[in-house]
Amino acid sequence: MMYREDDYWYGESQELGVQLLRISYVGNEASMLILLPNEITGLDTVLKKLAEGYDLLAELDKMYNTKVQVSIPKFKIETEIDLGEVLPKLGIKSIFNRGNSGLSKILNKPEEIYVSKAVQKAFIEVNEEGAEATAATG
């Protein structure tokens, strides 16, 4: 278990039915957002609202910095995402085109260069000492 009492960004959303807590990682370049449903059986309702497009970013703007006692169970999450499947869905397609990627201008080479594979790996761990996150794309 991670036990901490410190200043965190905190908020409550009656509409979403949660308490929100933002824990910054070292350097404050990234943070983890925790949503705690107000009801023991409220997780399904929260997930449904988020899936339906609930504006979570609006809730972030309402958070405030305050002293909070936090207890979080230890956990570790590792993911690997094939960006070759994700990026085209976001409209980034040409870089994967062997014949016309548009990337050859980056290097002074006569042959066409392109992205054949792109993978992102991410790692989040919460333990007794705190929270750690890393990500790499290659």
| pLDDT exceeds 90 at position 112 | no
Domain residue limits at 134: 74-138
Is residue 68 located within the same domain as residue 6? yes
Closest by CA to 78, choosing from 120, 123, 126, is 123
Mean pLDDT of the chain: 88
For range 131-135, the mean pLDDT:
80
Is residue 93 located within the same domain as residue 130? yes
More confident residue, 30 or 64: 64
Is residue 10 located within the same domain as residue 55? yes
Is residue 57 located within the same domain as residue 78? no
Predicted confidence (pLDDT) per residue in 23-36, tens digit: 887 777 788 899 99
Is residue 111 located within the same domain as residue 67? no
| pLDDT exceeds 80 at position 82 | yes
> How many independent structural domains does the chain possess?
2
Predicted confidence (pLDDT) per residue in 45-59, tens digit: 999 999 999 999 999
**Listed residues 72, 101, 129: the one ending a domain:** 72
**CATH code of the domain covering residue 31:** 2.30.39.10
**Listed residues 72, 100, 128: the one ending a domain:** 72
Phi-psi region of 14 (alpha: psi -120 to 50; beta: other; left: phi over 0): alpha
**Listed residues 37, 56, 72: the one ending a domain:** 72
Closest by CA to 119, choosing from 81, 70, 74, 63, is 81
Residue type, 54: Y
Is residue 42 located within the same domain as residue 81? no
Question: Of the spans 41-50, 97-106, 116-125, which averages the highest pLDDT?
Answer: 41-50
Residue with tokens 């990627």: 101
Is residue 54 located within the same domain as residue 94? no
Is residue 91 located within the same domain as residue 61? no
